[in-house]
Amino acid sequence: MSFPQERPRRLRRAERLRALVRETLVTPAQLVYPLFVVPGEGARREIASLPGCFHLSPDQAVREAREVEALGIAGVILFGLPKAKDPLGSEAWDEEGALQQAIRAIRAECRDLLVITDVCLCEYTSHGHCGVLEGEEVRNDPTLELLARMSVSHARAGAHVVAPSDMMDGRVGAIRRGLDAAGFADTAILSYAAKYASAFYGPFRDAAGSAPQFGDRRGYQMDPANVREALREVRLDIEEGADLVMVKPALAYLDVVRAVRAAFDRPVAAYNVSGEYAMVKAAAQHGWIDEERIVREVLTCLRRAGADVILTYHAKDFARWTS
């Protein structure tokens, strides 16, 4: 059939009709909201490069988490900042660290909220790299044990899911073994499996104070030019025990989301990263775009590309607009 019998516009005539035949839906239950936890009490400081997002002390993180829970958002992903940084990032597995306190407090207050934690040393190391240094080299294997220790401390504090974002080889296996040995067989792993060396993380590095002191992350994060390699990374992580796998960043990488969705049977997450958020916010503040429509479009298209789960700084705004 073709025109004039076929008229695709017939199904676009009214919103009820468009909604009826819509192929992709986004709900707050598919979203995860990032929170940045800092040491102290009563601290709630807006992050300049991420308008609407805050540095929160554990008590304030709980308040924020309650709001997130009330909006029907699935969960939070927590990033921790230390009191002091050192070469190994040893506050990362401190039971009394701000992040660990926040995990315990949120678990105690928010019954239905999922608590996911970012596992990476870069916020905790004085040099800002994601692993142990030897000279200017990030060493893979000695880093694994530290990541496992950090994951166990998160699980012990009550994290439902740990999310390693460091891109060391073999870390998912090391974390799985560490969790199991410590009695946390039920703690899930969301692996940042295909994480690219991206300029879209710029605002996050301001937020986390985690810009490397020298060099960059191209020695461990992936080359933006590669997609076959992403499938290999995802396969390795699944073999090592990843329960969910992530593609990051999201918007310039929709083909990667699609390829991972098609090739594997695990839930796929996409991280709509800080630079993607900051660009939308900045253009909206100038009045150059309609923020609500852009955000709805961005999240819908991420789902259409194949993301089951979306990590996004837009989660609260989206949930308010759709409630």
Q: Is 204 in the site for ligand PBG (CB under 6 A)?
A: yes
> Do 130 and 220 meet the contact criterion of CB atoms below 8 Å apart?
yes
Shortest distance (Å) from residue 232 CB to ligand PBG: 20
Q: Is 130 in the site for ligand PBG (CB under 6 A)?
A: yes
C-alpha span between 37 and 80 (Å, rounded): 5
Q: Which of 64, 91, 118, 240 binds ligand PBG (CB under 6 A)?
A: 118
Q: Is 201 in the site for ligand PBG (CB under 6 A)?
A: yes
Q: Is 124 in the site for ligand PBG (CB under 6 A)?
A: no
Shortest distance (Å) from residue 41 CB to ligand PBG: 25
- The residue among 281, 271, 246 whose CA lies nearest residue 47 is 281
- 44-62 core/surface letters (b: 16 or more CB in 10 A; e: else): eeebebbeebbbbbbebbb
Q: Is 64 in the site for ligand PBG (CB under 6 A)?
A: no
C-alpha span between 270 and 262 (Å, rounded): 14
> Do 26 and 318 meet the contact criterion of CB atoms below 8 Å apart?
yes
Query: Does the annotation count 316 as an active-site position?
Result: no
Total number of residues binding ligand PBG (CB under 6 A)? Answer: 11
Distances in whole angstroms, Cα of residue 294 to Cα of each of 132, 223, 287, 288, 321: 40, 28, 12, 11, 12
Q: Is 240 in the site for ligand PBG (CB under 6 A)?
A: no
Q: Is 165 in the site for ligand PBG (CB under 6 A)?
A: yes
- Considering only residues 256 to 285 of the shown chain, the ones binding ligand PBG according to CB under 6 A are 273-274
Q: Which of 68, 115, 122, 244 binds ligand PBG (CB under 6 A)?
A: 122
Name which of 41 and 52 has its Cβ closer to ligand PBG: 52
Distances in whole angstroms, Cα of residue 131 to Cα of each of 139, 164, 170, 236, 255: 7, 12, 13, 20, 29
Q: Is 102 in the site for ligand PBG (CB under 6 A)?
A: no
Name which of 100 and 198 has its Cβ closer to ligand PBG: 198
- The residue among 174, 166, 285 whose CA lies nearest residue 222 is 166
Return the range that interacts with ligand PBG (CB under 6 A); candidates 96-104, 134-142, 176-184, 200-208: 200-208
Could you give the residue numbers annotated as active site? 195, 248
**Interface ranges with ligand PBG (CB under 6 A):** 118, 120, 122, 130, 165, 201, 204-205, 217, 273-274
